[in-house]
Amino acid sequence: MRPVVVAANWKMNTTPGDAGELARTIAARTVVEGPVERVICPPFVCLAAVGDALRGTGVAVGAQDVHHELSGAYTGAISAPMLAGLASWVIVGHSERRRDARETDELIGRKLHRAAEAGLRPIVCVGEQLAEREAGRADRVVRDQVAGILAAFAADPTALATSRLVVAYEPVWAIGTGRNARGSDASAMAETIRDAIAAAGWPALAPAVPVLYGGSVTAANIGEFLAEPAIDGALVGGASLKPDEMAGIVARAGLTASARVGTGG
């Protein structure tokens, strides 16, 4: 049975002075009966403060990115070994990194491999642009992204199999645009993602990979996505800075997790 995961991506928000209190508040507001894995991914400078605030709460800490090399002349970059003791999860290949830093599938694959080597649980992001969806190419684009990223493990397949991989489907056209994806859109893409993982050489791993929805998630729309058996949680952006929103999202996730435990699926 795949876990239900709710991961908060705070992006470039909060400071070390206020991040701990926000994390502590969210942790207290998101205690639910169902087995939901909760993760908060603050900016790098807030990792220590958030980690201290979350100690003993059951909420994990994640980083928002990781470099593709272990060390070297990369001013401003953060490597996987540097995150030891500060984070146990990491987001890789977010659409904003693709857009702003021009990250390619090949580079994202190398980052994913570094995360896996370091024992960081990765949330790797894939998703299509509006023009690609309107051209009927969404399925092909996402399949190609998955294949391009996982090519980094061709010589080291065990690293991926043991990485506890999570994938977030980000329909880029639905992030902060006012346009909404449907639950059926996300469900179809989750199946595409698992098919692509299998086709890339990991057929046994594919069914067990949790797929999260990551397109402007709110407490008001999360129910539509979690009603889909193929969707296993959410990567939450702007709403993750609001305790009330996170409480609603995790509460719905808890109901989903409890129902899945009850049915064994």
- Choose the catalytic residue: 37, 96, 128, 170: 170
Q: 153 and 159 in contact (C-beta within 8 Å)?
A: yes
Instruction: Assess whether 170 carries a catalytic annotation.
Output: yes
Q: Which two tokens stand for residue 228?
A: 């889909």
Helix-helix angle 183-199:138-150, to 10 degrees: 40
Q: Which two tokens stand for residue 62?
A: 């994640």
Residue with tokens 């969404």: 138
Sorted by sequence, the CB contacts under 8 Å of residue 75 that are 6+ apart come out as none
Sorted by sequence, the CB contacts under 8 Å of residue 190 that are 6+ apart come out as 169, 211, 228, 230, 231
Instruction: Assess whether 113 carries a catalytic annotation.
Output: no
Residue among 142, 132, 216, 229 nearest 181 (CA): 216
Give the Cα separation of 62 and 59 in Å (integer). 10
Residue among 63, 79, 181 nearest 122 (CA): 63
Residue among 19, 77, 11, 8 nearest 48 (CA): 19
SS3 content of the chain, % helix, strand, coil (to 5): 45, 15, 40
- Choose the catalytic residue: 37, 67, 68, 94: 94
Catalytic residue numbers read 94, 170
